[in-house]
Structure 1
């Protein structure tokens, strides 16, 4: 349950103002077809984050040493800093017209590719390594992406004007920082276990 809840909260907050959220808003304003956009985001995220969680889980299984656990903890602290850097997407850049497969395929491909190396994907790798529960991490990170992107697709511009993105980014950074520090404290034995 910790893996699911932590993954959901971290990714939902980290996605606020992220370039993939900006892409979701852009797709919604360009194509005005929320159902295939939301479906494309869901499938792209599920595939991308399953692979990312699997990489983290596999790396943790192979690199089961104290230094690797410290590296994962430090990656969460680095994610805290990265989360504070706002993403930008060029709204004037030409977005290809929907392929013959339609808005769904365009969204699926664009979202999957843009998520590669993105902070939420990197966070998913770290969460997969931290928790080792591939399905819970994938479900949580996918749910977090949908929590952040569903309103972006449905309410786009109005949401961007009303939600204080900087405050959400700072909240996400704080969560990443606390998780990294908690992991270090746990590795040092500073946290009492029942």
Structure 2
């Protein structure tokens, strides 16, 4: 249960203000069809995070002991720093809009998540906890908790969130996770 809850919290916080959340707002404004957009986000996230979770689980089996702790701890610190800086939305992701709402959300989200901090976090969390399903389901839930309101509420929500404070909390959570990992907590 810890792997699921930590994964949900970490990715949910990291996703606030992320380029994929901005993409959610853009898709919602363009298509005005929240259900297919949300379903596209869900499918893309499950596929992307399943691959990341598999990579993390395999990575966790190959590297063990002190090496694993240090690499993961430093990775979490890196994501903590990354979380402090807002992502820039790339206009090229918007060009897939000639397809329907579902297909556009599916393709755009899958591509936008490749190498994103939430994907990196999923790899790290899967390696840290060595629990594929709880991590992938938790990170996916975190993504959905951050993106569904963006799709449903759109522009009304964007100006009201304290993005800077949320980024600071996300960075702090990743930093604490890095410290706990290096210290060997939970072993």
TM-score by length of 2: 0.95
| Ranges in structure 1 where 5+ consecutive residues have no aligned partner | none
Q: Separation in 2 of the partners of 1:91 and 1:168?
A: 25
- Distance of aligned partners of 1:96 and 1:192 in 2 relative to their CA distance in 1, 3 Å threshold: closer
User: What are the superposed Cα offsets for residues 39-94 of structure 1, whole Å, 9 maximum, x if unpaired?
Assistant: 00000001100110110110110122421221001111111000001012156985
Mapping 1:9-158, distance limit 5 Å: 9-89=9-89, 95-99=95-99, 102-158=100-156
Partner of 1:184: 182
RMSD, aligned α-carbons = 1.7
Structure with a larger share of its residues in helix? 2
For the 8 Å contact 1:26–1:91, the answer to whether it is kept is no
Moved more, 41-50 or 85-94: 85-94
After TM superposition, which residue ranges in structure 1, 4 or more long, deviate above 4 angstroms? Answer: 90-94
User: What are the superposed Cα offsets for residues 128-185 of structure 1, whole Å, 9 maximum, x if unpaired?
Assistant: 1000100000000000000000000011111110011111111000000001111122
Q: Find the residue that maps to 1:162 and give its secondary structure.
A: coil
Select the residue among 169, 172, 177 that pairs with 1:171.
169
Q: Separation in 2 of the partners of 1:35 and 1:192?
A: 39
For the 8 Å contact 1:98–1:105, the answer to whether it is kept is no
Structure of higher CA gyration radius: 1
Q: Separation in 2 of the partners of 1:105 and 1:92?
A: 16
Q: Separation in 2 of the partners of 1:124 and 1:104?
A: 24
| Ranges in structure 2 where 5+ consecutive residues have no aligned partner | none
For the 8 Å contact 1:74–1:180, the answer to whether it is kept is yes
Q: Find the residue that maps to 1:85 and give its secondary structure.
A: coil
Instruction: Report how many aligned residue pairs link the two structures.
Output: 187
